[in-house]
Amino acid sequence: MAVGKAAQTRPDPCSFVIFGVTGDLAHRLVIPALYNLAANHLLPEKFCLVGIARKAMSSDELRDGLMKGLHQYATRAVDDAIAQRLLGCLTCIEADPNDPASFDAMSKRLDELEAAQQTGGNRLFYLATPPNAFLPISRELGRTGMLKENGSWRRLVIEKPFGTDLASARELNSELLKIVDEHQIYRIDHYLGKETVQNILVLRFANGMFEPIWNRNHIDHIQITVDEKIGVGHRGSFYDVTGALRDMVPNHLFQLLSLVAMEPPAKFDAHAVRSEKAEVLAAIQTQTEEEALRNSVRGQYRAGRVGDTEIDDYRKTPDVKPGSNTETYAALKLTIDNWRWAGVPFYLRTGKALGVKRTEIAIKFKQAPFAMFRDTPVDRLSQNYLIISTEPTEGIALQFNTKVPGPNINIDGVEMKFRYKDYFKTEPSTGYETLIYDCMIGDNILFQRADSVEAGWQAVQPFLDAWKKAAARGLKVYEPGSEGPEEANELMERDGRSWRKLG
């Protein structure tokens, strides 16, 4: 992460080994991110790019596919010379975790490549594979000694989802820690690569004015919204066993929640920041199943339109079970049991096929206790929100009341807005550049530690259990292009609150 560093420097020479290189993530996000790093001179001088495929494939064939993907998904115009430099050195190695001999051969081949390219033995293994392959691949890497650090570094990048519930996340952590040390594991969550998300800490702790009011005395509640317009599309087989809650909440939404709710770390280093994040997640009150049902809404979209795009009924998505009860929308009410947040509800919502793409944290401050202005009762004052948003615009807005010009005291709500693009020249990014760069320089501040992953699953486990038992009961349907099921509004209205409207 660039904060606190004088300038970005090139990482150590290393090999970058991608498992799952034939897949969507590698083509759409990882290679374009490496391209952006190459274009900004942020790849190591000596760099060995290796793709691991389970089926035989030549390096040329793999290179052609990745080059095509780069042209399709790059976030900036592709300069052929840079792309050639990046992919020119690509080597494809065939290895399957079900075939130990293939890993022995891979280990030998990597040694040879690294000796030729003088990368010094530093290796980053990026597991861009389905979660069920994380452990088999790690075990083979461990067995063959490829993860052993002998004067060089060896790192393992694990994609999300990290486990499917509390028990499986614990099991995965415990098995991985038999193979590698925690400092070698980089559990990735691309939300932490987003500028606005990293800026939450800067906003809170590099400014003196927010901290005094950042607590239960001044904050009424906090809303975290991650709405998407896209449907499930071609990801039916993954999504139908995952659902909106597992896909988004214990990872992306909890990253936002932990950054906004954590205590100030003693210093800005990985240990201190990650400890505070884990601490606040662990303080999320564990709900009984009955409370979990009362404090949640789950929905599933039917056929309809989002803007000009036709969206099919979720249950008709390829690879989705015909009568599936998997939620494509989830809203939750959580509370954090600590001194700062006691009595301050956190309302979270996320869903697919909704009317707008919106990612925001809206911090709602308490109303003024008394309105001294005639004809303006306190409940007619506009609400005071501080809004930190990534979508549709990256920025921060503060909403407050002001006097309407004129002879009388009329009051209306206005907004002060900071938009990143008005102040900084930002380059479009995949969100993965920062994370991949940080892995290469060994800065794990933006990666999840085992304890916070487990604390996240612990907090959502009651909802998973309650929803599983309830099956179809309680699953609400919603129209594509809407704001989600009406019951999500009722979740707020019951508490005398409402979701923040856009615009």
Ligand X SMILES: NC(=O)C1=CN([C@@H]2O[C@H](COP(=O)(O)OP(=O)(O)OC[C@H]3O[C@@H](n4cnc5c(N)ncnc54)[C@H](OP(=O)(O)O)[C@@H]3O)[C@@H](O)[C@H]2O)C=CC1
Ligand Y SMILES: O=C1O[C@H](COP(=O)(O)O)[C@@H](O)[C@H](O)[C@H]1O
Q: Among ligand Y, ligand X, none, what does residue 133 contact (CB within 5–8 Å per kind)?
A: ligand X
Pairing of strands 91-94, 296-301: unpaired
Cβ-proximal residue to ligand X, closest one: 23
22 binds, among ligand X, ligand Y, none (CB under 5 to 8 A by kind): ligand X
Paired tokens of 38: 């190459």
Q: How far is the CB of 262 from ligand Y (least distance, A)?
A: 21
Q: Say which entry of ligand X, ligand Y, none residue 359 contacts (CB below 5 to 8 A, set by partner kind).
A: ligand Y
Binding test (CB under 6 A) with ligand X, winner from 11, 15, 17, 22: 22
21 or 110: CB nearest ligand X: 21
* Whole-number Å distance between alpha carbons of 172 and 165: 11
- 374 annotated as a binding-site residue: no
Dihedral of alpha carbons 327, 328, 333, 338, sign: positive
Choosing from 27, 183, 221, 252, the catalytic residue is: 252
Paired tokens of 349: 């919502």
* Residues of this chain, 47-86, that bind ligand X according to CB under 6 A: 53-55
Scanning residues 351 to 390, which ones bind ligand Y (CB under 6 A)? 359
Site track for ligand Y across 223-242, x = CB under 6 A = -----x--------------
Query: Rounded CA gap, 137 and 168, in Å?
Result: 17
Smaller CB distance to ligand Y: residue 359 or 384? 359
Q: Is 394 a residue that touches ligand Y (CB under 6 A)? A: no
Length, in residues, of the chain? 503
Instruction: Say if CB 324 and CB 315 are below 8 A apart.
Output: yes
Is 228 marked within a binding site?
Answer: yes
| Cα distances (angstroms) measured from residue 280 to each of 94, 138, 206, 363, 366 | 43, 30, 20, 17, 22
Q: Are strands 346-351 and 219-227 parallel, antiparallel or unpaired?
A: parallel
Handedness of CA 177, 179, 183, 189 (dihedral sign): negative
- Distance between CA atoms of 16 and 35, rounded to whole angstroms? 13
The answer to whether the CB of 20 falls within 8 A of the CB of 54 is no
Contact 250, 350 (CB under 8 A): no
Of residues 25 and 411, the one with the C-beta less far from ligand X:
25
Q: Is 327 in the site for ligand Y (CB under 6 A)?
A: no
Tokens describing residue 388: 């930190």
Beta partners for residue 475, in sequence order: 298
247 binds, among ligand X, ligand Y, none (CB under 5 to 8 A by kind): ligand Y
Number of residues that bind ligand X (CB under 6 A): 19
The answer to whether 271 is a known catalytic residue is no
| Residue 55 annotated as part of some ligand binding site | no
Residues 188-247 close enough to bind ligand X by CB under 6 A: none
- Per CB under 6 A, does 20 bind ligand X? yes
Q: Interface with ligand X by CB under 6 A: which residues?
A: 19-25, 53-55, 97, 128-131, 133, 159-161
**Catalytic sites, residue numbers:** 252
Binding site for ligand Y (CB under 6 A): 228, 247, 359
